[in-house]
Structure 1
Amino acid sequence: MKLKIDVSVIIPAFNAQATIGHLVHKLLSEQTFSMEVIVVDDGSTDETWTILSAITDERLLLIHQENQGVYAARNAALAVHGGEWVVFLDADDQIADGFLQERLRIAHEAQADVAVFNGWRADSTGLQRSPVHHKQPYGQSLTGQQWIRHCVKQREWPHYLWLQIIRSAYIREHGLRFQEGKSHKDILWTIHLAAGNGWFYFADRQDYIYINNPASITHRQDYYDIRAASYIDVIADILALSKQQPQRATRRALDRHALVECRHFLGLYRRKVSNQQTLRIRFCTRIAFHRLLPGISSLSDVVFLLKLVRKIYSSTVV
Structure 2
Amino acid sequence: MKNKIDVSVIIPAYNAATTIGCLINKILSETRVAIELIVVDDGSTDGTANVIHQIKDERLALIEQANQGVYAARNAALALHHGEWIVFLDADDDITDGFIEKRWQAAIESQADVVIFNGWHSGADQHRRAVHRKQPYGVTLSGHEWIRHCVTHREWPHYLWLQTVRSSYIKQHSLHFQPGRSHKDILWTVHLAASNGRFCTLDIKGYIYINNKASITHRPDYYDVRAISYVEVIAEIIQVAEEVQNKKIKVFLYLHALVEARHFLGLYRNRVRDKSSVKYSFEANITLGSLFRGLNSFSDVFFFIKLVSKLF
> Which bracket does the TM-score occupy, shorter chain normalised?
over 0.9
Residue 115 of structure 1 pairs with residue 115 of structure 2: yes
Compute the displacement of 1:47 (Å).
1.9
Alignment correspondent of 1:167: 166
Structure 2: how far apart are the matches of 1:32 and 1:185? 33
Structure 2: how far apart are the matches of 1:298 and 1:202? 27
* Identical-residue share of aligned pairs (%): 59
Structure 2: how far apart are the matches of 1:102 and 1:48? 28
Structure 1: how far apart are the matches of 2:246 and 2:171? 23
| CA deviation string 1:197-216 (max 9, x = no partner) | 10011110011000111111
CA contact (8 A) 2:2 2:34 kept: no
Task: Assess, with a 3 A threshold, how the Cα gap between structure 1 residues 130 and 2 changes in structure 2: closer, same or farther.
Answer: closer
Matches of residues 21-170 of structure 1 in structure 2 within 5 Å? 21-124=21-124, 127-170=126-169
SS of corresponding position for 1:254: helix
Task: Give the count of matched residue pairs.
Answer: 312
| CA RMSD of superposed structures (Å) | 1.1
Alignment correspondent of 1:234: 233
**Partner AA of 1:17 in structure 2:** A
Compute the displacement of 1:2 (Å).
7.1
Alignment correspondent of 1:302: 301
CA contact (8 A) 1:138 1:202 kept: yes
Structure 1: how far apart are the matches of 2:124 and 2:98? 24
Consecutive unaligned residues of structure 2, counting only runs of 5 or more, are none
| CA deviation string 1:51-103 (max 9, x = no partner) | 10001100000000011110000000001111111000000001111111111
Matches of residues 250-289 of structure 1 in structure 2 within 5 Å? 250-289=249-288
| CA deviation string 1:111-150 (max 9, x = no partner) | 110111000000136x242100000011111111100000
Compute the displacement of 1:19 (Å).
0.7
CA contact (8 A) 1:23 1:91 kept: yes
**Partner AA of 1:162 in structure 2:** W
Compute the displacement of 1:247 (Å).
1.9
CA contact (8 A) 2:140 2:198 kept: yes
**Partner AA of 1:234 in structure 2:** V
Structure 1: how far apart are the matches of 2:70 and 2:263? 21
Alignment correspondent of 1:244: 243
Structure 1: how far apart are the matches of 2:296 and 2:32? 49
Structure 2: how far apart are the matches of 1:136 and 1:79? 31
Structure 2: how far apart are the matches of 1:5 and 1:206? 24
**Partner AA of 1:160 in structure 2:** Y
Compute the displacement of 1:221 (Å).
0.5
Structure 1 runs, 4 residues or longer, greater than 3 Å off: none
Structure 2: how far apart are the matches of 1:156 and 1:33? 32
Structure 2: how far apart are the matches of 1:74 and 1:181? 12
Q: TM-score, normalised by structure 2?
A: 0.98
Compute the displacement of 1:249 (Å).
2.2
Alignment correspondent of 1:223: 222
| CA deviation string 1:289-314 (max 9, x = no partner) | 111111001111111111111111x2
CA contact (8 A) 1:39 1:63 kept: yes
